[in-house]
Amino acid sequence: MTESATTTTTHLMTINMGPQHPSTHGVLRLLLELDGEMITKAVPHVGFLHRGVEKLAEYRTYHQCIPLTDRLDYVAPFSNNLAYALTVEKLLGIEIPERAQHIRVLLCELTRITSHLLWLATHALDIGAMTVFFYCFREREAIYDIFELVSGARMHLSYIRVGGVARDIPGGFLEKIRTFVSEFPSRINEYETLLTDNPIWKKRTVGVGIISAEDAIDFGLSGPSLRGSGVNWDIRKSEPYSGYDKYNFAVPLGKNGDVYDRYRVRIEEMHQSNRIVHQALNILPKGDCIASIPNVTLPSKEDVETKMESMISHFKLITDGIHPPKGEVYTSIEAPKGELGFYLVSDGSSRPYRLKIRPPSFVNLEALPKMVEGRLLSDVVATIGSLDIVLGEIDR
Amino acid sequence: MDNEAIATCVKTRFPEEIGDARIFRNELTLMVKKEYVADVARFLKENKELEFDFLSDLCGVDRIATDDVFEVVYHFYSIQKNHRVRIKALVPAIEPSIPTVTDVWKTANWHERETYDMFGIMFVGHPDLRKILTPDDFEGHPLRKDYPLDGRQPAKLRDIYRKGEA
């Protein structure tokens, strides 16, 4: 035996994880530098799904941008629609009818539930708990049926309009939601029996992917990923929009900032969202589902057919679009993944001069190297899952 | 703190460096001379009354057509105090560069890389200023207003992307 065969070498190995890896939740590529099983360096590479949404928006009227926002975080399209519409509404300085606001909150919280369900399903699947996936997708399907009923689409709703929502809710819609919310808490408990006290689940998640509160703020984490570290910041509470201040709900917090705490936070958030939906159902007022503002919202179909002015206004809005005043606004909402912000610059024309999207996943992913360096390779999969990223909004 | 109080507080500390303060739709915008962006940022973060601990967003805006400059726009938020401010600096289009704020907030790293990728603005002192969203062989900075919507990539790259002929 030669000498070289018996001496152990200790050089580092670089491996490529993704962009076609099932556990990277899309087209994320990670360059991992390994010392044995331990990660010494992790470098995320993003941009494989870059479609130039911000550039496209500059060539579209304000209403035409709504379908673009659907395709950012495509598991929570309604939140994106809402954040964008709120930004334009702030720029225009308009008020939204009560009923429209409640419908928005209702659907927004259902969206949060679908988003968290998809997170839980894939996160558990990544770590090896397959059953949860089927349970979560069963409930997700029920919510998608509800979405289909109200907007005609299952994923890309584009149901929000500047000034309200596209049309009033159809008959049977509220009953369907009522059935769902009355059953859902027991379903969450069902998932929890599979995971929360499961020793294998805990071994894979407790103490893994830790980030302290200071680091989390420094890295700009937001949403459940930040609250897992114990920072009490939820935009629904701190800067209430769409009438969130009228609802009673708690903001669940973690303590250790590990994968398990982020899991607990999201599970509890589903309970809270369910509570909000329940309240919205009970206090849903009667009234208009879209504001009636000349040169911003479309006139009613009946008016278009009978009144000359309405027909002209309809035609002008469709062909030319709305003209907000010159100025700039930044609005952010508590999307399922964190602070989703839109920065809109208007030059007074019918198209945005600049639309900057602040996607929560983009910023949250930035902290991944901090969480996994010095840990084992298998922890990377658990940590990515716990950050709940969607590449559609990272790459835009 | 309300917008006026924030503006007064920052202007007292930086009388020369801060330009005019504007309030539109209840949002405060402060203009900063670009050389002092990092100093102002650090002050905003460390001042006990302001405590802007969170960098929400950082981006560029193309103003070449009207003023021959880029705007670099920072959105700060204070989790402790629950207030926001927008800071804006103008960088000349001829030589677009501005000090980095990565040593004040780690999160600025990717934001600045994105702004560099999209506008070609250099962030002086950035530890790792690489493109982030566009491919390595992509030419140009797509969010500049003079960049056409349908792209202007070399024929080879265009073939790969448009026709699927590798």
Tell me what pLDDT residue A288 has: 86
Q: How many CB atoms lie within 10 A of CB A370?
A: 19
Q: Which of B25, B79, B149 minimises the CB distance to A59?
A: B149
How confident is the model over A133-168, as pLDDT tens digits? 999 999 999 999 999 999 888 888 889 989 889 888
Q: Residue B74: beta bridge partners?
A: B58, B87
pLDDT score recorded for residue A27: 85
Cβ-based interface (< 8 Å): residues of B facing A: 24-25, 27, 29, 53-57, 59, 61-62, 73, 75, 79, 82, 84, 86, 105-107, 109-111, 118, 131-135, 142-143, 147, 149
pLDDT, average across residues A100-114: 92
Phi/psi for A171 (5° steps) reads -65, 145
pTM here is 0.90
Does A339 reach chain B within 8 Å, measured CB to CB?
Answer: yes
A222/chain B closest Cα distance in angstroms: 9
Classified as helix, coil or strand, B123 is: strand
Q: Per mean pLDDT, which range of A171-180, B45-54, B132-141, B147-156 is the poorest?
A: B147-156
Assess contact for B90 and B34: CB atoms under 8 A: yes
Phi, psi (degrees; rounded to nearest 5) at A152 = 85, -5
CB-based contact B56 A358, cutoff 8 Å: yes
**Closest CB from B106, B107, B143 relative to A55:** B143
Supply the pLDDT for residue A287: 86
Q: Is A260 on the interface with B (CB under 8 A)?
A: no
Residues of B in contact with A353 (CB under 8 A): 61
Q: How large a percentage of chain A has pLDDT more than 70? A: 97
Among A234, A343, A365, A393, pick the best mutation site for testing chain B contact (most B Cβ within 10 A).
A343
pLDDT at A303: 84
Q: pLDDT band for B20, please (50, 70, 90 cuts).
A: confident
Q: Choose, out of B3, B53, B59, the residue to mutate when testing the contact with A (most A CBs < 10 Å).
A: B59
Q: Smallest CA–CA separation between A68 and chain B, in Å?
A: 15
Q: State what percent of residues in chain A have pLDDT above 90.
A: 44
B53 vs A54: CB contact, 8 Å cut-off? no
The pLDDT of residue B160 is: 64
Name which of A50, A353, A358 is nearest B57 (Cβ-Cβ): A358
pLDDT in tens, A251-291: 999 888 899 999 999 999 999 999 999 999 898 888 888 88
Contact between chains at A330 and B55 (C-beta distance less than 8 A) = no
Q: Cα separation of A169 and A247, whole Å?
A: 21
The yes-or-no verdict on residue B135 having pLDDT over 50 is yes
Q: What is the per-residue pLDDT across A1-25, written as a single tens digit (0 to 9) for each?
A: 445 555 666 788 888 887 877 777 7
Can you say whether the dihedral through the CA atoms of A373, A378, A383, A389 is positive or negative? positive
Residue A56 exposed, middle or buried by CB count within 10 Å (0-12, 13-18, 19+): middle
State chain B's mean pLDDT as an integer. 86
pLDDT at B1: 78
Q: What's the CA gap between A337 and A356, in Å, rounded?
A: 18
Q: Are B114 and B130 in contact (CB under 8 A)?
A: no
Name B38's Cβ contacts closer than 8 Å, sequence gap at least 6: B99, B100, B101, B103, B104, B125
Closest by CA to A357, choosing from A41, A56, A35, is A56
Query: Which of A356, A368, A371 to mutate against chain B (most B CBs within 10 Å)?
Result: A356
pLDDT of residue A6: 57
Nearest Cβ partner of A50 from B84, B111, B133? B133
Q: For testing the chain A interface, which of B79, B101, B111, B157 should be mutated: the one with the most A CBs within 10 Å? A: B79
Q: For position A108, what pLDDT does the model report?
A: 92
Name the DSSP class of A181: H
Give residue A365's identity as a one-letter amino acid code: L
Residue B55 has pLDDT above 60, yes or no: yes
Instruction: Give the residue-averaged pLDDT of A33-54.
Output: 89
- Distance, in angstroms, between A52 CA and closest chain B CA? 8
| Residue A238 contacts residue B82 (beta carbons within 8 Å) | yes
How confident is the model over B44-63, as a mean pLDDT?
A: 89
Q: What is the mean pLDDT of residues A120-135?
A: 89
Confidence of residue B163 (pLDDT cuts 50, 70, 90): low
Compute the 3-state secondary structure of chain B and give helix, strand, coil in percent, each to the nearest 5.
Answer: 30, 30, 40
Query: What kind and span of H or E run contains B20?
Result: strand B18-24
Q: Could A220 and B105 be called an inter-chain contact, meaning their C-beta atoms sit closer than 8 Å? A: yes
A131 pLDDT more than 60: yes
For the cut 50, the answer to whether the pLDDT of residue B98 exceeds it is yes
Chain A residues within 8 A of B105 when measuring between CB atoms: 218, 220
Q: Which stretch of B24-28, B56-60, B154-158 has the lowest confidence by average pLDDT?
A: B154-158
Is a pLDDT exceeding 50 seen at residue A53?
yes
Taking the CA of residue B158 and the nearest CA in chain A, the distance in Å comes to: 15
**Mean pLDDT, rounded, of chain A:** 89
- Name residue B165's amino acid: E
Q: Once rounded to an integer, what is the mean pLDDT over residues A391-396?
A: 88
Q: How many beta-carbon pairs under 8 angstroms link A with B?
A: 85
Contacts of A90 in chain B (CB under 8 A): 25
Cα-flanking dihedrals φ and ψ of residue A179, to 5°? -60, -45
For A190-245, how does the pLDDT look when each residue is reduced to its tens digit (9 = 90+)?
898 988 888 989 888 998 888 999 899 999 999 999 999 999 999 999 999 988 98
Proportion of chain B above pLDDT 70, given as a percent? 92
The span from the CA of B89 to the CA of B93, in Å, is 12
pLDDT level of residue B162 (50, 70, 90 thresholds): low
Which of B85, B132, B150, B153 should be substituted to probe chain A, the one whose Cβ sees the most A Cβ atoms within 10 Å?
B132
Q: Within a 10 A sphere around the Cβ of A256, how many other Cβ atoms? A: 16
Q: What is the DSSP letter of B92?
A: E
CB contact residues (below 8 A), chain A span 346-375, against chain B: 353-354, 356, 358, 362-363, 366
Q: Which residues contact A335 (CB under 8 A, 6 or more apart)?
A: A73, A76, A79, A80, A83, A223, A360
Chain A residues in contact with B134 by the CB 8 A cut-off are 47, 50
Name every chain B residue with its beta carbon within 8 A of the beta carbon of A220: 54-56, 105-107
| Cβ–Cβ < 8 Å for B37, B98 | yes
CB-CB contact of B93 with B65 (8 Å)? no
For A368, nearest residue in chain B (alpha carbons)? B107
